[in-house]
Amino acid sequence: MRARLPNFFLRYGILVVWLAIAIVFSILEPDTFFTFGNLQTIAGSQAVLVFVALALLPTLAAGEFDVSVASITGISLVLVGDLNVLNHWPIAWAIVLALAVGILAGATNGIFVVFAQVPSIIVTLGMGTLLLGVTLGINTQSTGGISPALVSATHTTFLGFPLAFYYGVILTVILWYIFSFTPLGRYIQFVGGGRSVARLSGIPVQPIRLGAFIAGGFLSALGGVILAGWLSASDPNVSSTYLLPAFAAAFLGSSVFEPGRFNAWGTFVAVYFLVTGVVGLELLGLASWINQVFYGASLIIAVAISRIASRSRLNA
């Protein structure tokens, strides 16, 4: 029993804390926080963050870092706006090109990391900066009037929640299935656990690492498409602020459900844990800088918990 209690808290502690802060905010702000409308806001407005955070999972699980995800989301967003609104492309083709650019960026990251053996943080930092510049080169201004079809595809509500929220749920289920029930998912975890051992076990380490970057690029670009629909506009300066919360969510997520492992449901819950905190603090009327304090502190605490969880798993 003594051993089970800490294990329970390691697995589900975030849910307890989430519930606790939700109760505290509901008591402090019963008319504004404890409302269905607020639940809708929390669910719908951060679907893009779910995508960007989940885009980190393949690379993090494979033992790599991809800090270009937010920039890929940004260029995807701007491409959709620029091609659809200013160049009058059909929205479907604009989306296809945006996703293709995401895949290309991810593949480029992967090639440099896997074959040129440049550390992933360096390659993706460079790629992120490069894409940020290209995004501004495409258009320095926000562009409104994105296809109503894409806007409806994100804003239309089903059972009270916008479709964008459900896309995040679907992606979470897909990644959860891949990581939990397919050989590919287990291979990625093996590669992340130790490349040499994985290689000796016959796992195709290099293709898996490359594939992880490509998947990350694709999912980041998909996040940009969702964002274009959600904003019904594009803006070249949006993306960078997704990076820190996405990493915070991914690391916080690795401390829950399967402590020490990056996992989809953990990341999903962590995104909404973070958003709950931020929305609650906003409703309390605290100064806006508190958001960054909250995100930053969450990242540090999340990584600490994740490390503790990993060690306790290894010692078990």
Partner 1 sequence: MMRAWRVSGLLALACVLATACGSSAGSSSGSSAGSASTSATSGANVAAAQQLVKRAEAPQTSWKPAGQPFNATGLRGKSMWYVSINLSIPFEQYILQGMKQGAATVGAKVTGFDAKSSVTNLESGIDEAIQAKAGVIFVDGVPAKEVAPAIAQAKAAGIPVLTANAQGSGPLLPGTPPGVVGSATHPFAIPGVLMADWVVANSNGNANILFLSSEDVPVITALVKTGFVGETHRLCPGCKVTVIDSPTSQWDQLTTITPSLIRKYPDANYLVADFDGQVIFMVPGVTAAGAQNKVKIVSFNATPSVMQDIKNNNVVGADVGGPNLLQGWAFAEEGLRVLDGLPALNNLNIPTRLFDSSNINSINLSAEESQWYGVGDYQAAYTKLWGASSS
Q: Nearest-CA neighbor of 234 among 168, 102, 138, 127?
A: 138
Rounded distance, CA 246 to CA 295, Å? 10
Between residues 197 and 297, which has the closer beta carbon with respect to partner 1?
297
- Residue from 59, 124, 189, 291 binding partner 1 (CB under 8 A): 291
Rounded distance, CA 14 to CA 222, Å? 28
- Residue from 56, 67, 275, 299 binding partner 1 (CB under 8 A): 275
For position 230 contacting partner 1 by CB under 8 A, the verdict is yes
Nearest distance from C-beta of residue 71 to partner 1, angstroms = 14
Nearest distance from C-beta of residue 313 to partner 1, angstroms = 34
- Residue from 134, 195, 282, 301 binding partner 1 (CB under 8 A): 282
In Å, how far are 12, 22, 135, 177, 230 from 30, measured between CA atoms? 26, 11, 42, 38, 28
For position 202 contacting partner 1 by CB under 8 A, the verdict is no
Neighbours of 184 (CB within 10 A): 13
Size of the site for partner 1 (CB under 8 A): 41
- Residue from 196, 285, 314, 316 binding partner 1 (CB under 8 A): 285
- Residue from 20, 87, 92, 140 binding partner 1 (CB under 8 A): 140
Nearest distance from C-beta of residue 44 to partner 1, angstroms = 5
- Start-to-end CA span in the chain (Å): 15
- Residue from 76, 109, 143, 220 binding partner 1 (CB under 8 A): 143
Contact mark string toward partner 1, 21..40, x via CB under 8 A: --------x-xx--x-xx-x
Between residues 111 and 136, which has the closer beta carbon with respect to partner 1?
136
**Angle value at C-alpha 264, between 263 and 267, nearest 5 degrees:** 85
Nearest distance from C-beta of residue 281 to partner 1, angstroms = 9
Q: Which residues bind partner 1 (CB under 8 A)?
A: 29, 31-32, 35, 37-38, 40-42, 44-46, 136, 140-145, 155, 162, 230-233, 235, 237-238, 241, 275, 278-279, 282-283, 285-289, 291-292
